[in-house]
Structures are given as C-alpha cells and as structure tokens.
Structure 1
Amino acid sequence: MKALQGVEGQVEWGEQLSPVLDVGQVRIKVAAAGLNRADLLQRAGLYPPPPGVTQILGMECSGVIAEVGPGTSWQVGDRVCALLAGGAMAEEAVVDARHVLPVPEGISLVEAAGIPEVYATAWLNLFQLAGLKPGEKVLLHAGASGVGSAAIQLCKAFGNPVWVSVGSAERLAYCEALGAQGGVIRGESLESLGDFGPFNVILDPVGANYAALNLKVLAVDGRLVLIGLMGGRKAELDLALVLGKRIQILGSTLRTRDDPFKADLLSDLAQHVWPLFTEGRLKPQLARSFAITDAEAAFAELATNQVSGKVVLVIDESLV
C-alpha cells in the first residue's frame, strides 16, 4: 500500500507494508484523512508517535470496512470514521474496532474524515475532564480551529455560552455563525476578554502566552484545560489566584491514551454526540480538501494558522 510519512521536514507518499490485522481490529480502505497540528509537529520531528505506533502520519480517517478480525461486530462495506494514534494517511488502516464509529447519515466521507479527532478532543476536555455543566461559561482560545469549531457547536448544543479568541475579524464572524456569543481578536486586546467573564472553563491550546490572562478571567472554582503549547511552555503564574479562586489546571493529551480509555471515549461520543449530527445540530466544518498527492500544500495551508475548520486529505477519490 501507499502511505504518507514525514521525512526531514517534508512529507513523502510512498510504498509501505500493509498493516497486519489482529483480533478485535478492522481494516479500513481509507477514503480520506483529517490533518491536525500534531501531524505538522510529527513531520518536523517534534512529536514522535507513541511507542509501538507506526510512523505513518494521520490520527483520523474515514472509509469503508474492508476486513474484520475476530471479535468485532462491524461488517465489510460499512462506512466508518476512526480515531488512531497514527497511520490514518494511508490507503489502508488497521484500527481497534472500538475506536471506529459509523459515518453519520447525510455526511460525506470527506467531511467525516475531519470529525473523530476534534470532537473526541472537545468532548473529552470540556465535558469529561472539566465536567462542564449546563449554563457554565466557556472560553476557547483558537476558537476557529478544528477543535474550536467542534467545541463551539458542542457548547451550543449542551447549553453553554461560549466566547473565543481568534486571529482575525473574519474568524470571529465564523465562530459567531457557529454559535459563539462573541470574543476578541488576537493582537488587539485579549484583556477585554475580562468583559465577558468570568469563565467557568477555558480550553487552551496556546500555553505560556495566555497563562496569566487565563487565571485572571477564570471564575471561582474555574477549570483551565491545557491541550497545546503553541505559545510556549514556560510561564510565570500568580499562584495566589490559583489558591484564592480554587482553580484547577488540567493538562490533557489524547494521542497517548491507552486503547480502553479511547474505547470508552468513543462509546460516550456514540451515545451523546453522534445523534446530534443526524439531528443537524452538529455539522462538520470542512475548510478545504486536498488530494493526497498535494499533501505538502495541505500541510502549508494548516501551518498558516488562518484555517477556519478542518483540512482533509483525499486518499481514494473512487470512494468519495
């Protein structure tokens, strides 16, 4: 089969051995794969896959079940999308059957390729780890990103007013169209976020640059969930605010979680989130798709930090 790997800061679409199917796994003939910031970091040599995971890029895909291992309930021909620790950007992907979900009715395979990672991330961090309750206020940094787009829609669906920080007026308008109450533009006045707070939960992929601000605008018993370090890894914090407000600071990564944890997370998504796609209350936000042969252009597009929604790589045109 052919697959995409990061080689010396570039991507290479070349021949690789097909993965072996084991008990409890399914083989997916991949139609498309979602592109995430983790893929940019892995290509640059800054984010190696967890031990034992393939070097093939990609953490989410869509396609058609081509083969099933013992102990699975999926059928050959089922249209699915899947969450992976690596290996999604390939003609075939072998996945734990518990990490696979059906493509929601009315959603294309190209759109579905960009669903699993961002909705799993948003649900895990806002609703499971932070314990978001109806009516609590949320702040999303990088609100127009793939995760931000998913999080805004989930917050709207579950009764949580949400504000964002973004990079431009156009991206703010995009977030408001998805359901955000408002927000601020990065580079103008992040301090004005205080006008909308205090916030009960903040989801932050930026890190150091926003750390002090986050503590200021969090409410008493607020939760800060850190999911990235785009703005640096070291910050000086006023711990008196952490103590006085009883703030919880949670660090979270999904890729390195074990298989049973991911299986429980996907089961939760199937129960609470997937029906909302069928009802039309959630919608994949596909910014742009690229052919797998144009993967470098896709990576460059995401690296601009100007993408609203998801970038997807189409691997098999015959399936989409």
Structure 2
Amino acid sequence: MAGTMTAIAIEGGKGAAEALKPVEVQRPEAGAGQILIKVAAAGVNRPDLLQRMGFYPPPPGAPETLGLEVAGEVVTGSGRWKVGDKVCALLGGGGYAQYAVVDARHALPIPKGLDLVHAAALPETVFTVFANVFEHGALKAGETLLVHGGTSGIGTTAIAMAKAAGAKVIATGRGADKKAKALELGADIAIDAKAEDFAAIVKAAGGADVVLDMVGASYFDKNLEALNVGGRIVYIASLGGPVLEVPVMKIMQKRAVITGSTLRPRSVDEKARLAAEVERVVWPWIEAGQVRPLIDATFPLADAAKAHAHLEAGEHVGKVVLTV
C-alpha cells in the first residue's frame, strides 16, 4: 500500500484563495516510465490561480491537485534516475503535495549551485520562456526582446535568458518601483507601462524583434507599432483581454508573425523533447550564474491560500514557492 500524504485541495472545486485547504489523500505510485518524487518545494504559477478559479481545467489524465513544478528527491526511480537523486520536474499537475509522480523524461538534475527551493522555481518558467522566446519567437543574439511584466516570474526569467543569449532586452512593468527593479535585473531599458508610452520608447530604441506578451488584446496595437519588420509577437496569456480585431494590412506591411502557445496541454513526448533542449541550452547558463531564479516569497505547503493571495496582489518580483 502506498499510504497517504498531505496535499492541497480546492474546497468546493473552485473558489477564492481561501478555498485551498490541506487534506489527506492517497499517495500516488509511479507507473511505467515514471518517477515518484518526495517534494521539497513547489512553484506557484498564475495557471494555478486560473485553475483554482475554474478557468483552466487540467488536461485529460492530469491530477486535479494544483502544481506544475517541483523539486525534491527521487523515491521511485526510472530511466536515468535512481533513488536518492535530487531533481526538479515539470508536472501536468499534482505539485502541491508531499509526493508527486512525473514522466522520468520531464525531470532534470538540480543545477550546480542551486538549492531545492530555487530549483523548484525553474521548470514552468524556463520551459515557457525557452519554448516561446527561443523556439516560437526564434530570438537570436543581437536582436531585441520586448517582455511585458518584466518583474513577474516569467519576466525575470525571460530577461536573464535573453541576456545570456546575447540579446537586448526592453522590459515593461507597472509603476516606478518595478521599472527600477527590471533595470536591476538586467534589462537594457525599462518602461513604466502605467505612465509611459511603451511603443514610442521601444521604437525610439530601435524597435523589437520579438515581443513576449501575457497581456493580450489591450496591448496588441502598441506591440505591432513597436515591432520591427519581420518581427514576432508571442502570446502566453491574455490577462488584458482574449479577443481582438486584427489590422491585417499592418501585419502584412510588417511581415509580422503572430503566434502563441500553452505548455501544460502538450504531449508527454513534446515535453520530453523540450526538457532535453532546456537541459542542453539553459542549464549551462544557470550553472554559469547567467540565469538564476529570483524568489520573491516562500510559504509552507499548508499556507497555499496565503501564497495565492500574495501572487494575486501583483506586487511580487520573481517567483512564489511552497515549501514542504
């Protein structure tokens, strides 16, 4: 028998942050090709908030428990992983718990110099940035990345990864404090999106070749205005509205590529391919100190509700992590 464990459940199936409660549930068992991880830390991400509110259901076969990234110790091995190995992993769900099961190919070794709390903040953000900025956006050395929400978990990671790749980075944030923080984190130019016209500033600085956007419709026209000919706009969320009218002629004139993606619904094989690429390209940047996850706050697992409230307040800089 696998026994039981503590996990975080959503009381009533959906609700406000206060609906998150610790409960005793059956401990999962690893199947073929999977590993079981004793979780030390779990990242908290915006998709977790959306799932809690009923807007982002888990894909078929994924656990109902929240949590898309963890770090911890392997207790059931498979493939390259043996019992006792320390790993971080991208999950389809189930991270807000004492134990989590994952495809062995979706786990990566803890980068040299990182503890488990910092490692838990890597998978969801690093996989997202790599897939969208470097694969879909095809950012190259010498090009310019415009990243919105530059002090979010995604934003801080995008700044560091783009700089490591030899790109110029322009970051937006809401407020003077976040503008200053984005510069401190390595952005070449930072813009207060509440008080400044980001499109005009980006154009004056030479334009953007790639835009990483989680705002959506409300920023589309200005993104297109700031974009260089042949540029790429990549959407990863739509916090400012999901529906827009598209100015087709302007897109044609700019020869713009408008794309976007989600990470969680991808196939296990596609996630395995992405994991291998992340380990090959990004892990050396992390171990060289060029990319380092920025932790804003940690909360005990039982305080997941407080962690969600903190993230929802929008004042965080970097990642929020649960410790187990």
TM-score, length-scaled by structure 1: 0.95
1:196-215 correspondence to structure 2 within 5 Å: 196-215=205-224
Across the aligned residues of Structure 1 and Structure 2, the Cα RMSD in angstroms comes to 1.1
Could you say which residue in structure 2 is the equivalent of 1:192?
200
1:58 to 64, 67, 71: 67
Could you say which residue in structure 1 is the equivalent of 2:49?
40
Could you say which residue in structure 1 is the equivalent of 2:259?
250
Could you say which residue in structure 1 is the equivalent of 2:183?
176
Amino acid at match of 2:279: A
CA contact (8 A) 1:33 1:62 kept: yes
SS at match of 2:26: coil
2:118 to 106, 111, 120: 111
SS at match of 1:202: strand
CA contact (8 A) 1:167 1:306 kept: no
SS at match of 1:149: helix
Deviations 1:215-267 (A, max 9, x none): 11111011000000100112223221101111000021011100111101110
1:74-153 correspondence to structure 2 within 5 Å: 74-153=81-160
SS at match of 1:29: strand
User: How far is the alpha carbon of 1:292 from its aligned partner?
Assistant: 1.1
1:8-19 correspondence to structure 2 within 5 Å: 8-9=14-15, 10-19=19-28
CA contact (8 A) 1:5 1:56 kept: yes
Aligned length: 313
CA contact (8 A) 1:98 1:266 kept: yes
1:303 to 303, 312, 320: 312
| 1:4 lines up with 2:8 in the alignment | yes
Amino acid at match of 1:177: E
CA–CA separation in structure 2 for the residues paired with 1:298 and 1:114: 14
Amino acid at match of 1:119: V
Amino acid at match of 2:8: L
CA–CA separation in structure 1 for the residues paired with 2:111 and 2:260: 31
| 1:68 lines up with 2:77 in the alignment | yes
| 1:29 lines up with 2:27 in the alignment | no
Deviations 1:142-165 (A, max 9, x none): 111111111100111111001011
User: How far is the alpha carbon of 1:196 from its aligned partner?
Assistant: 2.6
Cα distance change, pair 192–183 in 1 and its aligned pair in 2 (3 A): farther
